[in-house]
A and B are shown apart, each in its own frame.
Chain A
Amino acid sequence: MKIGIACPYSWDVPGGVQQHIRDLAEALIEAGHEVSVISPADDDTPLPPYVVGAGRAVPVPYNGSVARLSFGFLSVSRVRRWLKEGGFDVLHVHEPGIPSLSLLACWAASGPIVATVHTAIPRSRVLLVTYPVLRTALEKINGRIAVSEAARTTLVEHIGGDAVVIPNGVATRRYRKAEPLPGWPGPGGAIGFLGRLDESRKGLSVLLKAFEILGPQRPGLRLLVAGPAGDADEVLHKVPAALRDRVVLLGQVSEEDKVRVLHSVDVFCSPNTGGESFGIVTAEAMAAGVPVVASDIDAFRQLLRGGEAGELFATGDAADLARAAGSLLDNRARRADLSAAALAAVADYDWSVVARDVFSVYETVVLGSTQVKVAAAGQDFS
């Protein structure tokens, strides 16, 4: 099938939507489909062969921050040319509520169109005000996908109609192999944590308390913590002085280093106290084959198959976390078992599986429809 995907944000800027599109496109190509992605991108940005640059995105204020978007009649004509040359069987637009390429593609095309909504749109009134203008574009969508329940709710409330929820996938292959950071995990063992340090729901303080119990019992054990923090010193001061040099804070790390961090520890800990709908970081650790210790919130219970693919502990209970992590650190065979179980479990969330779900949405909307064409209504604008 020939698939055209429209990305609203600059390809050269890292972001969740861009990464989603990249992973989806690569999974679809691997499954044997022809994929073309149109995205704003600076002219000198090296692009993967399946991405068509639509020119530089312009920084504009949108919803209280500056976003880099593509709009205006030049973008419209580029999108129209891409649609004409592509001859797509289905058009997949991402975030059609953002004033950028996706909206333009939706507006300029006719035929089978699928839209994915990633984030909740906070300003419903804006949509209402411009609804006469947007209606033409948004009414053409044949199939809607939301990446989360929250995104689905926004879509239902603000645009109308329903959506299927297809969560983000995990590019498991990207996590499978990496060189550990130099000197890690070390002879005494290491526990890892990834996430915002100052967001209490991520639960770092529970892990630090557990380390107060584990640290003195295991003289060589170290803690590897990666993630942005408002004040790193404040985090370190929560740790007793004697243990402080065994807690290593890396700050924010790149995507590649993140994978290396996962391979640098014996046990990965997800001590979240709530607010997690899926647990992408935990899934990535599983994809790296690291044994996971996680709090028993619903998301992790489901992801870890009720404890088969990772150790669960009572949410917020540092003593229980110390027990669970300790027993894993002491038992190499159990760690190997959990690693294998985690790899098997996370395969369910691999992009190849998610892309299949997305593809079945394509198949549904393509039934009885012709190819994607440049819409007659869009012709009068040039």
Chain B
Amino acid sequence: MGVITDIVIVVAAALLIGVYVSWRAGRIDRLHARVEMARAALDVTLLRRSSVALELATSGLLDPATSLLLAAAVHGTRSDGTDGGARPRDLAESDLTRALRAAFGQPDFRSSLSGKEGADELLGEVEATAHQVFLARKFYNDMVAVTRDARRRPLARVLRLSGNAQAPEFFEMDDSLIADKAGASLGL
């Protein structure tokens, strides 16, 4: 009788532990999936920002020097080593931010362009997409932080619950269009 109770308790405990471990593993798996989704969302916002910036560059609203500067920065975010001069994605995207900041940071930039056909819409769109990048990157990095934390727990490490999945990396970049917030750290 006592033996049977012991067996039942042991089996029940093993079962519970198994369920718990598999729940933890499942959670880590779900976190990785969500990181990937957040990353995809971030990529979309970055691409959207690039394409609006390019539209601004080719709109004819700006002087040719500013246009060329923006177009070159957009080009930098797209190049993937095929023409030799590739920069890592985070640096290239930061370059685009800084090029946009240089354009938008001119005194009276908005007022000098307002009234021109489509100018307000386009400038508004650039600012909106830039803000989306800021949000998407924040969400992505939050997910990365949670996931990395879950992977670092002792149980997850000992039982290798994350399997072969690579630890997600934070995406660091300069994404502020406002000069005084980010400019100092870059020496700009």
Write the residues of chain A forming the contact surface with B, with a CB cutoff of 8 angstroms.
Answer: 58-64, 69-76, 99-101, 103-104, 107, 122-123, 125-126, 129-130, 132-134, 136-137, 381-382
Bound-state Cα–Cα, A133 to B56, Å: 11
Inter-chain contact A99/B107, CB cutoff 8 Å: no
- A382 to B63, alpha carbons, bound, how many Å? 9
- B residues less than 8 Å from A100 (CB atoms): 65
Report which residue of A69, A76, A129, A137 has the largest number of chain B beta carbons within 10 angstroms of its beta carbon.
A129
Q: Which of B37-45, B95-103, B123-131, B139-147 contacts A (4 or more CB under 8 A)?
A: B95-103
- Taking CB as reference atom, which chain B residue is nearest A58? B102
Cβ-defined contact, A60 with B64, below 8 A: no
B85 adjacent to A69 (CB under 8 Å): no
- Judge whether A62 and B72 touch: CB under 8 Å: yes
Chain A CB within 8 A of B84 CB: yes
Determine if B66 is an interface residue (Cβ-Cβ < 8 Å).
yes
Name the CB-closest residue of A to B73. A61
Min CB distance B19 to A, Å, is 53
Determine which of B64, B74, B99 lies in contact with A136 in the assembled complex, contact meaning CB atoms within 8 Å: B64
Q: Given the known A-B contacts A69-B69, A123-B72, A126-B72, are A75 and B58 also in contact in the complex, defined by CB atoms under 8 Å?
A: no
Contact A71 B72 (CB under 8 A): no
Known interface pairs A63-B85, A64-B87. Does A126 touch B68 (Cβ–Cβ under 8 Å)? yes
Can you list 16 A-B contacts (CB < 8 A)?
A: A60-B69, A61-B73, A61-B94, A61-B95, A71-B66, A71-B102, A72-B65, A72-B66, A73-B112, A74-B106, A99-B66, A103-B65, A129-B74, A133-B58, A133-B64, A133-B71
- Residue contact B76 to A134, C-beta cutoff 8 Å: no
The answer to whether A61 and B98 have CB atoms under 8 Å apart is yes
Nearest 4 pairs between A and B by C-beta? A71-B65, A61-B95, A99-B68, A99-B65
Query: Smallest CB–CB gap between B187 and chain A, Å?
Result: 8
B46 interface contact, C-beta 8 A: no
Task: Determine whether the beta carbon of B106 is less than 8 Å from that of A73.
Answer: yes
Question: Are A60 and B68 neighbours in the complex by a CB distance under 8 Å?
Answer: no
User: Interface residue tally of chain B, by bracket?
Assistant: 20 to 34
Point out residues on B near A: beta carbons under 8 Å: 54, 57-58, 60, 63-69, 71-76, 83-85, 87, 94-95, 98-99, 102-103, 106-107, 109, 112, 187-188
CA distance A382 to B57 in the complex (A): 17
| CA–CA, A75 and B54, complex, Å | 22
Residue pair B69, A129 in contact (C-beta under 8 Å): no
Give complex CA distance A126, B94 in Å.
Answer: 18
- Please indicate the chain A residues that have their CB under 8 angstroms from the CB of B65 in the complex: 69-72, 75, 99-101, 103-104
Q: List chain B residues, Cβ under 8 A from A103.
A: 64-65, 68
Instruction: Return the contact of A73 from the options B60, B63, B68 (Cβ within 8 A).
Output: B63
Minimum CB distance partner of A102 in chain B: B65
Cβ 8 A contact of B63, one of A62, A64, A104: A104
Residues of B within 8 A of A64 (CB): 76, 85, 87, 95
Q: Which residues of chain B are near A72, meaning CB under 8 Å?
A: 63, 65-66, 103, 106, 109
Expressed in whole angstroms, the Cα–Cα distance for A100 and B64 within the complex equals 9
Asked if A60 and B98 sit within 8 Å, CB to CB, the answer is yes
Q: For the complex, what is the distance from the CA of A60 to the CA of B95, rounded to whole Å?
A: 8
Which residues from B are CB-within-8-Å of A123? Answer: 72, 75, 83, 85
Q: How far is the CB of B86 from chain A (nearest CB, A)?
A: 9
> A107's closest neighbor in chain B, by CB?
B64
Q: Are B112 and A122 in contact (CB-based, < 8 A)? A: no
B74 to A, closest residue via Cβ: A129
- B63 close to A126 (CB less than 8 A): no
- Hey, which chain B residues are within 8 Å of A99, CB to CB? 64-69, 72
Task: Give the shortest distance, in Å, between A356 (CB) and chain B (any CB).
Answer: 31
- Docked complex Cα distance between A9 and B11 (Å): 78
B85 and A75 contacting across the interface, CB-CB below 8 Å: no
Q: Given the interface contacts A72-B103, A122-B84, does A133 sit within 8 Å of B67 by beta carbon?
A: yes
Q: Are A74 and B107 in contact (CB under 8 A)?
A: yes
With both beta carbons as reference points, the residue of chain A lying nearest to B106 in the complex is identified as A72
CA A132 to CA B71, docked complex, whole Å: 12
Question: A101 — nearest CB in chain B belongs to which residue?
Answer: B65
List the A side residues contacting B84 at CB < 8 Å: 122
CB neighbours of A130 from chain B (8 A)? 57-58, 64, 67-68, 71
B85 / chain A contacts, CB cutoff of 8 Å? 63-64, 122-123
Q: A60, B102: Cβ atoms under 8 Å?
A: yes
Task: Please state if A137 and B112 are interface contacts (CB–CB under 8 Å).
Answer: no
Chain B residues positioned under 8 Å from A107 (CB to CB): 63-64
Are B58 and A59 touching (Cβ within 8 A)? Answer: no
State in angstroms the CA–CA spacing of A123 and B60 once bound together: 21
> What residues of A have a CB within 8 angstroms of the CB of B103 in the complex?
72
